[in-house]
Structure 1
Amino acid sequence: MGTGKRGLIASGVTVVCAVTVLAAPGTAFASPAPTPTPTAGASASSTAMPTKDLEAVRERLDKLYREAAAATDAYNAAEEKAQKQSAELVELAKKIVQGKEELAELKDRAGAAARAQYRSGGLPDEAHLMLSDDPQEFLDGAGRVLQGQHATKGLIAAMTRTQQDLEQYAEDASAQWKKLEAGRKAKASAKKKIEKRIATAEELESQLEESEKKRLAELEKQAALKAQTAWLDSGVLDEISGKATEQGKKAVEYATAQIGKPYEWGAEGPKTYDCSGLTSQAWASAGSPIPRTSQQQWQQLSRVDVKDMRPGDLIIYFDDASHVALYVGDGTIVHAPRPGRTVTLAGAGSMPILGVVRPGA
């Protein structure tokens, strides 16, 4: 690594350390590991990054990717809303076309009645009956007059209702357009945030030497293992004995079959997935569609205690419900972790668990 590049990342790490300390008072970095001996041929000016600084980079990357995951949830939610709103607009457009056709027909009928009255000399039917000398004709005519009056009132009422319906459809369509536009802006904002966070993370990672990237990956594994060990040491796995339902088995089979496929934000397969894209498609394949995002899954699906979970259940992670995985049993999950990673198996307790939800309940 050149001196200019090393100086750039050194400055970045200094900022990361400062941000980390200010944002999380009392947070302790991992104990520094022995500094590796430079390999033969390495630049004399190249100095291995201290473990505590690399740990700060790991925490910064974790924060950036978590923020990207939360923004991805917002993007997916906006996308789903846009699809529903577009469908509702199509239905409203159909109703407006149908209403206009009905109104045109009613106007034609009203016009026909007006022309008939004009041809009769402009006199109302009541006047024609009064001038009749035949009593029976008068009585028969009186009945027709009543029927005609009723029909005319019904025609006018139908025209009024149709006109009111058209006005309401127009108002609803206008409101839907406004919601669609607001959703478009929310989606664009979320996309911008996702891309910015990922670009920042990738830039930070690109400044690392290959040996530092390997050490960083090892630190990530150690952090996950430490969390998983603490979770298992709590004895929670001893209490988990639930058996998968047939649908749960199908969801697990689908999700595990995707192992090795790349993470891509906003993706629902079949080649790439984000975390909730994987879980939603797994359960869709099992014949039980569920909400698209991890936050919606947390909010809308039935919740169960961790000790009662069974294969096929979804584990929601972090306080903002920004990540989700599918429990496969034996303390293991399958999930799409983050950009730059692939669908993989991991320890169920390797991340902070918010709760467990059960599709198909």
Structure 2
Amino acid sequence: MEFVPETVLKRDIFSETIVGHLAEDPACKVVLRKLDGVPWYARPIAWFLARKEVRGLRAVAGIEGVPELLRVDRVGLLRSWSEGTPLQLAKPDSAAWYHDAKRLLREMRARGVAHNDIAKPQNWLMTPEGRAAVIDFQLASVHPRKGRWFRLLAREDLRHLLKQKRAFAPGLLVPSERRVLAKKSLPSRIWMATGKRAYNFVTRRLMNWSDGEGTEDRIARDGPELRKIAERPEMSDVVLCTYALPARGVGVYAFYETYMAQSELRALVPEARADLVQAVAEFPRDGVEIREDILHLIAANRLDELAVLMAGAPDLQPVVARIVAGRQNLTDRVLRR
């Protein structure tokens, strides 16, 4: 089962996530969580997280909407590709998606598995069929006895799903769900008051790493100055995205809606703030709303997924084609050997 790498999706201090295919079956898309390049000081934690992911994926095998573990070796973990759009881009507003997401959590709970990391919208997907899927089982825990601690964790998984519902479809919340949202479990309150502060200090200050895939730190730090540039009269708007850097971590990709030349724009935007910038004559829009999901896929150079998305929006294809032709990120396909 030989893995052929194609595109780096994410890099952090604990792993490198690469999408590719099997050599014997180019149509079979798979994902490798690569661990053999992890720095020595992060290796114990990286493999601790990897073992949790292996155990979690084995426990949920066969459930629709979760990845299938294919191989584990010294290089890392190979799993099936989960087709879908991350929640922060898909922004599901139909009751059907949330109903299916609850189904997924029920089936995981029946296997004694708590995901423990679905507060992140990027770990939820909306499939092309409108179904729910979940990825990234690094923090998952398996509880064969399904005791009180597991029930608390499973409730937190549900509460975090309802937080996504509150963010993207608040009108669909029912009174019982609002009550669940209003009451954090005791372990959650203790973690927020104590453990999370220490965790954030170690990962973000000492290790310069963010569990939000870099988005929270880079956009929060550099975003205000980049948005201020868009207030110039020759500009209409700006969209900020992140993408995997060839070495490690994430870069900021800034799309500016402007008729300025690309060279003029690059001279205007500090490289310390935005690694890549692109002058775009017209953003793709649904009415007045910018299709940021499209721009995020272009920034990450995930053109195969973009093609699937654009099949449902033929009226936007000419606008998107011009943006793709001028895209600046080709480096995410540079793989570390």
Alignment TM-score, normalising by the size of structure 2: 0.22
Q: Which has the higher contact order (CA 8 A, sep 6+)?
A: 1
Q: Point out the structure with the larger helix share.
A: 1
Q: Point out the structure with the larger strand share.
A: 2
Alignment TM-score, normalising by the size of structure 1: 0.21
> Rg larger in 1 or in 2?
1
